[in-house]
Structure 1
């Protein structure tokens, strides 16, 4: 059975998350239902795997998933047909590519990139409702950058992970946190760009919620270092809501979509 990788974009608002659930809509279940209509050999109960199991309300512009289909497909035709069967759900297949049989969307990944959008202005967000987290007070980007610097590198992130996190270890390496400012009418949008080999459950939302407190002046930047060192969930700032969070990219040893994007081709090899 040929294996295909998919680059997926979705609005997480209507879904209970990526992972299929018996009684609630999910991104995974929506794509699986479309695949079953498209390819009769995609058996009932067959599963697709994703690089990241995003929570309810979290969006994606660069999620990657893979599935085994019953017959070969031209990648362009597969993309077009899947998008037809997905309509009108807020899910789009941006690209499809045939990949080696040992490619795994989750276990072959070497890095994940997230974006969090935080809007600071008093007037309600009309056009971006459900797509950003809005606060009504101004924020100090310099203070947030100073606080964020304490989190870059390899640390025990117990403070910044959910108590329901199932990861074996709280040790993670955060490669990058970049905070950029973007003027909007009567306010500013702050974009938090985070990159790591992998993330703990609620790690990004815990970090951004804590840095917002720094930007608002409620926390001094050094308190972020103290919270990290505490290794105690109670030392974390508020966990921000999901609607500003986007999975924007997944990195592999080679680009599964190289033929489309012009990147380096993916190399076969056992997932690690």
Structure 2
């Protein structure tokens, strides 16, 4: 049996998330409403002799996208020879295309059986895309359904978060992002997942280190006349987060806090208190969870050396040399 690492990308709009959910009452049939479930169903076309059980490196919620995520799987062919990684990529993408699923395998590679896509990951990068209206449109601030009365490029639907607030202070957001850098107890910024376990209530579990937060100008993905109109109406921005790992919904809650700061709903002291008094009770109710469709998992980072198996002969020589000492 051989282990394979799949580099995948997907648009998460119409999925419940990446992690599969098996309905035991339905006899444990496959799950075609999650990314992982669709990948495993497509893998059946490889006809391995073993049961297909993929492992995820990262979990994304319903509506969240991925430019690059990873999973690994052990597969055994009928002749016990390794599958051609290029063949795995081609067969899976053919199945996704046939079923009109917005999932693509970027590449497949054989990795050592000791490799784990989650535990070998050095870090993860997330990106949040949003656009802020440059000018207040006629009575737009008084309308409850402002976004439905404004121009939003059809190419950007469920791909970017549009704010109809011309008083948005991007410099205040940038300054607030610096408060989140470094090691903090992010208990206030974590939601309780369906897979919550008592061990996760340990204060050490919610300690995380944010290595980088970069706020930079973005651009529209619209084309032709839509692009011209979008650029004239909106300023596009991107917030990039880099860390070894994140808590459940941590990124969206951090973005929500930064949006609340930039629009004047809260001040810097509120963010300071949420960081220094880590508790679910410290969450400021004026902060709204950022919508999932603006969030992208950009990359799962690895050490390239982990993809290469250590030759058995080298291991034996090293053991002999150590024993001789």
Q: When the two structures are superposed, what TM-score results if normalisation uses the length of structure 1?
A: 0.88
- For the 8 Å contact 2:120–2:306, the answer to whether it is kept is no
Q: Which among 137, 156, 178 is matched to residue 185 of structure 2?
A: 156
Aligned match of 2:223: none
Map 1:50-69; keep pairs closer than 5 Å. 50-69=56-75
Q: Which residue of 2 aligns with 1:243?
A: 293
How far the C-alpha of 1:198 sits from its partner, in A, is: 0.4
Give distance in 2, aligned partners of 1:210 and 1:179: 15
The aligned counterpart of 1:133 is 161
Structure ranking higher in strand proportion: 1
Query: Which residue in 2 is equivalent to 1:258?
Result: none
CA separation of 1:32 and 1:83: change in aligned 2, threshold 3 A: same
Contact 2:111 2:308 in 1 (8 A): no
Alignment match, 1:4: 4
Q: 1:252 aligns with which of 302, 308, 311?
A: 302
Per the alignment, in what secondary structure is the counterpart of residue 248 of structure 2?
A: coil
1:84 to 90, 94, 100: 94
Unaligned runs of 5+ in 2: 24-30, 134-149, 220-230, 311-325
How many residue pairs match? The answer is 258
Give 1:180's match in structure 2, choosing from 202, 206, 216: 216
**Alignment match, 1:106:** 118
Which position in structure 2 is the counterpart of 1:218? 265
What is the rounded CA distance, in whole Å, between the counterparts of 2:235 and 2:58 in structure 1? 29
Question: Whose Rg is larger?
Answer: 2
In structure 2, relative to structure 1, the CA distance for the partners of 1:225 and 1:266 (3 Å cut) is same
Match of 1:261 in 2: none
Distance 2:276 2:234 in 1: 34
1:234-264 deviation line (CA, Å, top 9, x unaligned): 424221111111111011122xxxxxxxxx6
CA RMSD of aligned residues (A): 1.9
Pick which of 86-95 and 182-191 moved more: 182-191
Q: Which residue of 1 aligns with 2:278?
A: 231
Structure number having the greater helix percentage: 2
1-side partners of 2:270 and 2:151: how far apart?
30
- Mapped partners of 1:185, 1:50: distance in 2: 41
Q: Partner residue of 1:259? A: none
TM-score, L = length of structure 2: 0.75
State the alpha-carbon separation in 2 of the partners of residues 9 and 78 from structure 1: 15
1:170 partnered with 2:206: yes
